[in-house]
Structure 1
Amino acid sequence: MIGAILDLVAAVLCLVGALLCLTAAVGLVRFPDLISRMHPAAKPQSLGLLVLLVGVVLHVRTWSAFFLLALVTILQMMTVTLASHVVARTGYRARLVDPRTLVADELAEAVAERARADPEGRGGPGATG
C-alpha cells in the first residue's frame, strides 16, 4: 500500500518537474532579451530538475540512487549559478544588454575602469574584472 502511494507521489513529482522544465524552455524562446532569458534558464529549470530527481528517488527507493541524484542536484545548483553569472557578464561586455532596461547598472564602472587600464583590450591575467 505504501509502495503504491510512493509511486503515485513520484509520478506527480516527475510530471511537475517536467512541466517546470517545459516552462523554462518556453521562457527561453519567448522572452525578448538576454537578461529576461536568464531567469527561465536558471530558476524554473533548476527547480524542475530538483523536483524530477526527488520523484525518481521516490520511485527507485535505493540508497545508491539517492546519493547519485543528490550529487547531480548539488552539481547542478553550483553550476547554474556560475553559468548565469558568466552569461550575464559576457552579454553585458558584448553589448547585448540594453542599458535602458536595467534598473541599476553596477557593472558599468568596473567595465569603464578596465577599459581605462587596458585601452587596447588585450586582456591578460585578471581580465575578468
Structure 2
Amino acid sequence: MTYMLFADIASLILILTGAFLVFSAAVGVARFGDTMSRIHAITKPQTTGLILTILGAILRVTGAEEFGIAERGDLGVLVLLVIFAAMTSPVTAQRLSRVSRREGLYGTKESMSRNDAPADRSLRRR
C-alpha cells in the first residue's frame, strides 16, 4: 500500500467523521431549547469536527502527487486554522455562557434540574 492510497483513505475517514460532527452540532443548535445547551452543542462537536476535517485535508494535500512548495504554504494555513480553532472556541463558549447567566437567558424553571436552575437570590452582598 502506497502513501498516496493511505492518505486518501485516512483523509476520507477524517473528513466524513468531521462532517458528521459538524452536522450533529447544527442539529443540536436547532433542537436544543435553552442557551446553555446550544452553547455546548456549538463548541464541542463543531470544534472537533472542524479539526478532524482540517486534518483530513492536511493528509490529502501531503498525499497528492504534485506536492510542492505551494502546497507547503497551504499546510501552514491549515495548521494555523487548527491552532486558532482550538484557542478561540473555549474562550467564546465561556464568554457566551457567562453573559447568558448574567442576563438570565435560561430555559423555563420547570424544565431544569435542581443543579441547572439559577439561584433564587443573588449570593452577592449589595
TM-score after normalising by structure 1? 0.75
**Structure 2 residue 82 is the aligned partner of structure 1 residue 82:** no
- What CA distance in whole angstroms lies between the structure 1 residues aligned with 2:74 and 2:44? 24
**Structure 2 residue 73 is the aligned partner of structure 1 residue 72:** no
Q: Which runs of 5+ in 2 are unaligned?
A: 63-70
RMSD over aligned CA atoms reads: 2.1
CA drift at 1:102: 5.9
How many pairs are equivalent?
111
**Deviation digits for residues 14-72 of structure 1, max 9, x if unmatched?**
11111100000001111121111111110100100010000000001143233211111
- What CA distance in whole angstroms lies between the structure 2 residues aligned with 1:48 and 1:34? 21
- What CA distance in whole angstroms lies between the structure 1 residues aligned with 2:114 and 2:96? 16
**Deviation digits for residues 50-104 of structure 1, max 9, x if unmatched?**
1000000000114323321111111111111111111111111111125754627
**Structure 2 residue 17 is the aligned partner of structure 1 residue 8:** no
Equivalent residue runs for 1:100-119 within 5 Å? 100-101=112-113, 103=115, 108-109=122-123, 112-113=124-125, 116=126
- What CA distance in whole angstroms lies between the structure 1 residues aligned with 2:34 and 2:74? 38
Larger displacement relative to structure 2 (46-55 or 92-101):
92-101
- What CA distance in whole angstroms lies between the structure 2 residues aligned with 1:7 and 1:102? 49
User: Residue 66 of structure 2 aligns with which residue?
Assistant: none
Identical amino acids, percent of aligned pairs: 30
User: Residue 34 of structure 2 aligns with which residue?
Assistant: 33
**Structure 2 residue 105 is the aligned partner of structure 1 residue 96:** yes
